[in-house]
Chain A
Amino acid sequence: MVDSLLSRSQWLNSSNRTLAPLLMEIFRIYAEDETEKANVAAVNEVRESFAADAAALFYINGKREFHICLAGLDFPITLDEARWRSTIEAHTAEDEVTRFGPWSMPGIEKPIAFWISARLYRIGNEGGYIFLGRNGVPWLELQSSAVVELKRVMAPLFMIRHERGIAEYSRNEAEKRLAASESRLRALFDGMRDMVYTADANDMITEVSVSACSLLGFASKHDLIGRSYRSLLATPEDRLLFLDKIREDGFIDDYEVILKKNDGESIFCLETAHARKNDSGGIIEIQGIVKDISDRIRNERELWKMNLELADSNLKLQKTQQLMVQHEKMASIGQLAAGVAHEINNPLGFLISNNTTLEKNARKLQEAWAQMRSLEGPTMVGTEASSRIEQLFSQAFEIFSESRDGFERIQKIVSNLKNFSRIDQSLSLVDFDVNAGIESTLVVAWNEIKYVAEVHKKLEPLPLVRCNANEINQVFLNIMVNAAQAIADQKKSEKGTLDIKTTQQGKSVIIAIGDDGPGIPEAVQNKIFDPFFTTKAPGKGTGLGLSISYDIVVNKHGGTLWAESSPGVGTTFFISLPIAGPASQPE
């Protein structure tokens, strides 16, 4: 301690002493220690050599910390950058040694009277500085020169250290950033709730997010890595289309895929992917995100199904309603016809009776006239009055005869109308003469048929058929009127043909009603019995006739109704009715 004080005093008072021992010591310190501790040792040496009360090095270390290394302390002090810089700016000059004081160094509370400072080096706006302080005697020129000498030696050492520090700092920072970025990306990749995957040019999975395991029901993502993507698809060939698109466009947005889970269940997913390509445009890697949309699809599916069922129900309701109305209408028309027939029957009865009486009376009158003429003698014969009376008698008998014909025809029509729709039988089954039914229906439909078709009948003797006569007559009427209209629609100059045949076949009777109309197009042949299906012009048909006929024959009577049609040749409808009637139909 005494030696040290002595040598410091000697040095201070001697102008011929060199800095050589200090500089050598500094070289040794920095050569031996690459850490920041070298600064601690160096600043202690400097303080001692300059016999200073305080010595400090200001510098920025490799971690970008703004340090002051004070002699006598084991560790450097860290200042915030602003304070560090303001200290430097206030107490150093550009290239000169600066003297100032009294001043209290940050970290030393007691002010020191005389300070000397100098910048050791500068890189950009950063640098390193040395501060020396002492009490008692101000710093002399001698010490200023020594500081300049010290600066010359220490500057390169500090600069190298500073640059290395910066480089190391940058590298560390870059490594940290890289690590942080990788960890962030990994967290993003693994934390994604959607499945994220990469696949190589052969579409083999090279990486996949953890979420894929839960999505697809695999224990580990390693069960998926190395598999071909298409092996995960419910329809693997869809992947070819996907690959074509991604090859062409480089990306694909919201492509729906159906993935197959490990347990075989299918899940609907939406995939968005892009391809990394090499310079020649070949795919290096496919990167994609797959989102499970099964829940959405399930909900949509329910909605679609409900819509469909609603549409179905509406249609059925509509059809049933119209069918009922039409049924009701047809039944009413039948009842009306029967009612009218019944009403006509009574006046017709007394008209026929009156006509017969009148004719009888006329005959009696004629006889009386004959007697009177024979009594009068030949004088009456040949006279004008006699001839006139003879003529009136002759005309009257013609009128009676014509009236009789007319009445008979009305009687037949009335009888057929009554037969066609008998109120008393409208709800029950009767033993029905099918051939008579055909005849009466022909009378009712005659107005539709007579101008367009010749009717050819071949009605074989048939047993009575247990059925609802009204309804079966309605069926005959529908089919006959349809046939007549089909023939009429051809607008041929000649009349067409309506062929009606009946025959017995085992326990059934078969009624065939055929026309030589245009036939039914093949595409709609299976629809002709559907309610509201019609090929007629709007307003001409309801499309319900055949549907109701089908219901009557098949559902109510346990029979069969079918059609055979050749476009351009004609159509024949066949009705097969069980003779014994519908088995389950209550009478």
Chain B
Amino acid sequence: MDIDALVADAFAEHPMDTIHGFVEDDVCTLYLSGSIDMKYAKDFQKLLQSAIAQLRAGSVVILDMRHVDYISSTGVGAFVSGLVDAKRRDIALTLRDIQPKVSAIFQLLGFLSFFEEAPTHG
């Protein structure tokens, strides 16, 4: 899977060169960054959707969130939508290194428990 191509396609309207990732042993790691707000939520959703569509059932998607400094409810919605897609394909969606203020929004909306949280990565 060519993550760079997926990112370029998903963020065609709002080019984003800070998002990258890789796939290894059925584990797809995506390093997200920036503000997942109303403007970008759809792009993030598209990225998740295309990545999930290309993975095998039973794969794991790790979303590295350390560089995401803001998320709106629409952004959380994009993640939830990704989670629904993932569940349909039996793929686990895991959040890693999520900043407390971002995690607080997931918590406030009542969705943090739906996601798996991966331990901090170096």
Interface residues of A (CB under 8 A from B): 234-235, 237-238, 241, 254-256, 258, 266, 268, 293, 297, 300-301, 304-305, 307-308, 311-312, 314-315, 521, 523-524, 527, 530, 532-535, 538, 543
Are B72 and A308 within 8 A (Cβ)?
Answer: no
Q: How far is the CB of B65 from chain A (nearest CB, A)?
A: 15
Provided the pairs A256-B72, A523-B25 are in contact, do residues A234 and B87 lie with their beta carbons within 8 angstroms? no
* Residue of A with least CB distance to B100: A235
Asked if residues A256 and B26 are in contact (CB atoms below 8 Å), the reply is no
Q: Assess whether A254 is in contact with B38, with CB atoms less than 8 Å apart.
A: yes
**Complex contact B88–A311 (CB within 8 A):** yes
Instruction: Please tell me which one of the listed residues A258, A307, A543 contacts residue B58 in the complex, with CB atoms under 8 A apart.
Output: A543
User: Taking the nearest CB of chain B, how far is it from the CB of A238, in angstroms?
Assistant: 6
Which residues of chain A are near B98, meaning CB under 8 Å?
none
For B66-88 the 0/1 string (1 means CB < 8 A from A) is 00011011100100110110011
The answer to whether A307 touches B84, judged by C-beta atoms less than 8 angstroms apart, is yes
Of B27, B69, B109, the residue contacting A297 (CB under 8 A) is B109
Chain A to chain B contacts (Cβ below 8 Å), 25 pairs? A235-B104, A235-B105, A238-B70, A255-B37, A256-B72, A258-B105, A266-B108, A301-B109, A301-B110, A304-B80, A304-B111, A305-B110, A305-B111, A307-B84, A308-B80, A308-B84, A311-B87, A314-B88, A315-B90, A524-B25, A527-B92, A532-B57, A532-B58, A535-B26, A543-B57
B35 / chain A contacts, CB cutoff of 8 Å: 241
Q: What are the nearest 9 A-B pairs in CB distance?
A: A256-B72, A311-B87, A304-B80, A533-B58, A311-B84, A235-B101, A521-B25, A307-B84, A297-B73
A255 contact set on B, CB distance < 8 A: 37, 72
Whether A523 pairs with B60 at a CB distance below 8 angstroms is yes
Interface presence of B114 (CB below 8 A): yes
Q: Roughly how many angstroms separate A427 CA and B38 CA in the complex, as a whole number?
A: 58
List, in ascending order, chain B residues with CB within 8 A of A235's CB.
101, 104-105
Contact B87 A524 (CB under 8 A): no
Among B58, B80, B87, contact of A527 (Cβ-Cβ < 8 Å): B58
Q: Chain A residue with minimal CB distance to B73?
A: A297
Q: Could you mark each residue 8-47 of chain B with 1 if its beta carbon is under 8 Å from any beta carbon of chain A, else 0?
A: 0000000000000000011100000001011000000000
Contacts of A307 in B (CB 8 A): 80-81, 84
Q: What residues of B have a CB within 8 angstroms of the CB of A524 in the complex? A: 25-27, 60
Cβ-closest chain A residue relative to B60: A523
Known: A315-B88, A524-B25. 15 other contacts (CB 8 A): A235-B101, A237-B101, A241-B69, A293-B73, A300-B77, A304-B77, A305-B110, A307-B80, A308-B114, A314-B87, A315-B87, A523-B60, A532-B57, A533-B58, A534-B58
| Chain B minimum-CB-distance residue to A294 | B73
- In the assembled complex, the Cα of A108 lies from the Cα of B80 at a distance in Å of 87
CB closest chain-B residue, reference A319: B90
| CA A259 to CA B90, docked complex, whole Å | 37
Complex alpha-carbon distance, A297 and B72, angstroms: 11
Mask, B42-66, CB within 8 Å of A = 1, is 0000000000000011101000000
Nearest-Cβ distance from residue A190 to partner chain B, whole angstroms = 29
Expressed in whole angstroms, the Cα–Cα distance for A311 and B104 within the complex equals: 24
CB pair A256–B25 under 8 Å, yes or no, is no
Per-residue 0/1 for B96-122: is the Cβ within 8 Å of any A Cβ (1 yes, 0 no)? 000001001100111100100000000
Please give, as numbers and ranges, the residues of chain B lying within 8 Å of A311 by CB-CB distance.
83-84, 87-88
> When the two chains form their complex, are residues A256 and B110 in contact, meaning their CB atoms are under 8 A apart?
no
Please measure, in the bound complex, the distance between the C-alpha atom of A533 and the C-alpha atom of B56, giving whole angstroms.
Answer: 10
Structural contact, B58 and A241, CB atoms closer than 8 A: no
B38, A256: Cβ atoms under 8 Å? yes
Q: Report the separation of the CA atoms of residues A301 and B106 in the bound assembly, to the nearest whole angstrom.
A: 11
Most buried by B among A258, A312, A314, A523: A523
A-side contacts of B26, CB under 8 Å: 524, 535
Kindly state the separation between the CA atoms of A301 and B74 in the bound complex, as whole angstroms: 10
Which B residue sits closest to A257, measured CB to CB? Answer: B72
Interfacial chain A residues near B104, Cβ < 8 Å: 234-235
B28 to chain A minimum Cβ distance, whole angstroms, is: 11
Chain B residue with Cβ nearest A523: B27
Docked CA distance A311–B89 (Å)? 10
User: Measured between alpha carbons, how far is A160 from B56 in the docked complex, in Å?
Assistant: 94
Measured CB to CB, the nearest residue on chain A to B71 is: A256
Q: Of B57, B60, B69, B87, which one neighbours A312 at CB under 8 angstroms?
A: B87
Contacts of A308 in B (CB 8 A): 80, 83-84, 87, 114
Partner pick for B108 among A234, A237, A521, A527, CB 8 A cutoff = A234
Cα distance, A523 to B118, chains bound together (Å): 10
Query: In the assembled complex, which residues on chain A have CB atoms less than 8 Å from the CB atom of B80?
Result: 304, 307-308
Hey, which chain A residues are within 8 Å of B70, CB to CB?
238, 241
Q: Are B90 and A256 in contact, with the CB atoms below 8 A?
A: no
Inside 8 A of A527's CB, which chain B residues have their CB? 58, 60, 92
Question: Which residue of B is nearest A314, CB measured?
Answer: B88
Q: What is the bound-complex CA distance between A307 and B114, given in angstroms?
A: 12
Chain B residue contacts of A530, Cβ below 8 A:
58
Min CB gap A164→B, angstroms: 59
User: Within the complex, what minimum Cβ distance (angstroms) separates A313 from chain B?
Assistant: 10
Contact residues in A for B111 (Cβ distance below 8 Å): 301, 304-305
Q: Please give, as numbers and ranges, the residues of chain B lying within 8 Å of A314 by CB-CB distance.
A: 87-88
Residues of A within 8 A of B83 (CB): 308, 311
The smallest beta-carbon distance between B14 and chain A, in angstroms, is 14
Bound-complex Cα distance A538 to B57 (A): 10
CA distance A534 to B110 in the complex (A): 32
Bound complex: CA A538 to CA B22 (Å): 22
| A266 contacts across to B, CB distance below 8 A | 108
Known: A301-B110, A311-B87, A543-B58. A256 touches B37 (CB 8 A): yes
B residues within 8 A CB of A241?
Answer: 35, 69-70
B48 to nearest A CB, angstroms?
Answer: 14
B60, B73, B108, B110 interface centre (most CB from chain A within 10 Å): B73
Q: Is the CB of B101 within 8 A of A238?
A: yes
